[in-house]
Amino acid sequence: MDKEILKELVLPRHIGFIMDGNGRWAQKRNLERSEGHKAGAQAFRRICDYASELGIEAVTFYAFSTENWKRPQKEVDAIMNLFREFLEEAQQRSDENEERGVSIRFIGDKSVLAPDLQALFERCEKQTSSKNRTIVNLAVNYGGRAEIVRAAKRLAEKVAAGEIEPDGITEQSISEELYTAGQPDPDLIIRPGGENRISNFLIWQSAYSEFLFTQTLWPDFYEKDLDEAIIEFCKRNRRFGGI
């Protein structure tokens, strides 16, 4: 993006990405679906780096939903191996990530993942926890409804323990029990791939998000596409229920 244009724009603080179209990208090229996921992982890395360069406060990538376990085991295994590769690469790029000020966080229920993946996730989070330029949320085994149920259970436990009264449950208290607690809600959610739905992604946090659906398949999503999305976002009039 032209730096002069950047100076004139109020950038979104938090952008969500529904990374869609990896399988179709591969099929169009007569490749295995796993090759599409590899290409999608490359898109994830470049958009992460670019968002950090722009100074976006938080970015959330929908990497693996609670529903994705229904996919063929071969494809699920390939995706899990890509997570391992990303985590190992993050270890190797620790100095670069530190310079960028990137904090990597994983949102979703990690308890059902392989023990080695859980350990890698925790190590990566710990190593980058002190960084505060850009938070990169990777949603793994994540579902928006499940996240709200988790928050409700945690608040119910506090009520049962006498820590709060039922009347003390507010929108703010629910937000504080979500995986994204302490982060701004997403201003903009982008879904490449040609589908026009949010698929259980950040459904509490996206109450006032702007949405952008594009035909571009995720592996073909580049910095210029994010530029165009941000420019489109900045043209919109966000009234939050006002006039």
DSSP 220: G
Tokens representing 7 are: 């100076």
Share of the chain residues as helix, strand and coil, in percent rounded to the nearest 5: 50, 15, 35
- Tell me the one-letter amino acid at 196: N
Per the DSSP assignment, residues forming a β-bridge with 139 are 62, 107
* The one catalytic residue among 2, 30, 49, 68: 68
Nearest alpha-carbon partner for 3 in 45, 55, 60, 58: 55
Helix or strand (DSSP H, E) at 59: strand 58-65
Examine the residue annotation and report whether 20 is marked as an active-site residue of this protein: yes
Instruction: State whether residue 105 is helix, strand or coil.
Output: strand
* The one catalytic residue among 20, 49, 187, 225: 20
Examine the residue annotation and report whether 22 is marked as an active-site residue of this protein: no
Per the DSSP assignment, residues forming a β-bridge with 137 are 60, 105
Please list the active-site residues.
Answer: 20, 68
